[in-house]
Amino acid sequence: MSSFDYVIVGGGTAGCILANRLTASGKYRVLVIEAGGEPNGRWIPIPAGFSKLMVDKRFNWGFKTKPEASTYNREIAVPRGRGLGGSTLINGMIYVRGQPGDYDAWSDTGAMGWNFETLKPYFRRLENYAAGDENRGHNGPMHIHQVSERFPLSTAFLEAAAQDGQPYNEDYNGEDQTGFGYYQVSQRDGRRWSVVDGYLKPARNRSNLTVMTHAHVLKLDLQGKRCIGVTYKQRGAEFRVKADIEVILCAGAIQSPQLLELSGIGNSDVLRTAGVPLKHELCGVGENYIDHFATRMNWRMKGVVTLNELARGWRLGLAVSEYFTKRTGILTLGTGLVHGFVKTDPQMTTPDIQYFFVHASYANAANRVLDRHPGMTIGVSQLRPKSMGSVHIESSDRNVMPAIRPNMLAEREDQRCIVEGMKIARRIVMQPAMSRFVECETSPGDKARTDEEWLEFARQTGQTIYHPIGTCRMGENHGSVVDSRLKVHGLTGLRIVDASVIPSMVSGNIQGAVMAVSERAADLIIEDQPR
C-alpha cells in the first residue's frame, strides 16, 4: 500500500488550491485523487461553452433534487463539475466576494476566527485584478476581468436602472456591493481561467505532487477514531492509500457528506436506513444544505439584435471567426453580463437581491436552446436565503445518487424577498431607456400581478443557480461537522475543505468564497504541523 503525507480527495476548486500550496515548500508528499478526468474538453476554454458543458456528463455529475411540494414536485438540476478543476470547468465564471457581514456572521455563529478581516488578505492573495484599489489583489494566480463586451441592451439596462434611482457600481467587490454595472469573471485573454490554470498547472511539475484521475474514492479508512487513508476504485480494481498526516476531503457540498456517510460517519438513523454500519456519530453531516434559488424573467424585444440572433446562422459564423482571431465577441460571454445588487426594502443596510442580466432568452432552459425571436433575461436571486435542507445517502452503493432536499422557499422571508426582487426588476425594465425596446414580457407576463401570483411563478419555474453550501458546517457548537481549523469533530487525521464547511450563505456566487476558504485552510494545515 502506497502512502503520502496528505491525501486530497477531489480535484476541484479546493483540491487544486491545496495541491499547490501544500507542495510549494517541497516538505510534503501530496496525492490528489479525482473521480473525473483531465480538463480536455474542447468547450472548456471557451467561455460561452458553459451552455454545452452544463449538459455534458463527462464534466457534470448531473445531480438532481428530490421532488418537493414547495417547488411543485419538480426535479431540479444541481450541476456539479466532474474532473480536475471541478465546477470551475463548467460554471459561468462570475466572481463575487460577497459582503463583509457574510463572513462576520460565520464568526458570530461559532466559526471562530472566520470573519471578513481575516479572509480579506486571502481574497487579495488569490486575485489578479488589473483595476480596483488597494483592497483588491493584483498579483494572484486567478485572473479576474470585468466583462469587456458592450451591447445596446446592456447600456439601456444600466440607464434604466439609473432612471429607477439605482446607483452605478464599477467594483461590486470593493467597499460596497450596492448597485449596477458589468460583472467580473475569471478569464484571461478571452478564455476561461479555472483553478487548474491558476493553481494546479504551476504545481504539476513538482516531484512531491501526484495527481490521480478516474479514481473513485469508495470510503475513508478509519482505525478507531483516526482516519488513516482511503479506499478507491480505478479501472475496475480496488486499492488503498495511506495518509501519514491527514486525509483532506474536498469533494464538495454534495459528495463530501455522501462520502462521510458511506464511511460510517454521520447520523446513526440515516446510516441505519441506508444499511451502513455506524463508526462515528456526527448528527450534522448532510444537514444545513443551503443554495441560491433564482427565477428567470424574460422579455421579447424589438428594434435591437440580441444574442438569440447573434448565436445562429451567418452571425454565428462571424462570431466564431472573431473569437478565434481576436478572442473577443459573444463567445467570451458567460452566464451574466450586467449585475445588479439591490435592497428590497430601503431600510436595509445591504442588498438582499442579485440580478443577472443577459441579452438572450431560452426557449428551453434545461437544454440551453435559445429563442428564435429577440429576447432578454433577468435572473433574480435572493442573496442570503434562510431556507435549509439536507443531502443524505439512501443506499450503501456509492453509485446511487444521494437524496438532495433543498427545501427552497420554505421560509416566509425568502418568499417575500424573491417576490419583491422580481417586482423591482419589472419596474426597472419599464423605465424609458429600456421600455422602448420591449415588445412584451413573456415570462411571467400577465400571469403575475399579485404577490400570490408572483410566488406561484417562482414555485413553478424557479431553479437553483448551483451554489450549494453548508452540509459539513464549520463551528464549535452542536450540529457542526468540522471545527474552526476544519478538522472533523471527534476524529483525527481528517479535515474537510470545500463549500460544505461554509456555515451560512455568502451574498453572491460562491466560487470566490470557496477559493478564499481554501487559501486560508492551506495556511492552517501547514501551521498545525510540527516545525
C-alpha cell at position 26: 517541497
DSSP letters, 445-499, are GGG--SHHHHHHHHHHH-EE-S--B-TT-B-SSTT-SB-TTSBBTT-BSEEE-SG
C-alpha cell at position 94: 462570475
- Cβ–Cβ < 8 Å for 184, 129: yes
Q: Return d(Cα 442, Cα 494) in angstroms, integer.
A: 51
Comparing CA positions, the residue from 204, 246, 210, 194 lying closest to residue 13 is 194
Is residue 467 flagged as an active site residue?
A: yes
Count CB neighbours of 509 within 10 A.
27
C-alpha cell at position 14: 479546493
- Residue 450, classified by CB atoms within 10 Å of its CB into exposed (0-12), middle (13-18) or buried (19+), is exposed
Q: How would you classify the pairing of strands 237-249 and 494-496? A: parallel
Q: Say whether 26 sits in a helix, a strand or coil.
A: coil
With residue 19 as reference, give the H or E element that holds it: helix 13-23
| Terminal Cα distance for the chain, rounded | 27
- Cβ–Cβ < 8 Å for 320, 499: no
Active-site entry in 145, 359, 392, 467: 467
Cβ-Cβ contacts under 8 Å for 437 (sequence gap 6 or more): 152, 153, 156, 301, 302, 303, 304
Which residue, chain included where needed, has cell 463539475? Answer: 81
Active site residues: 467
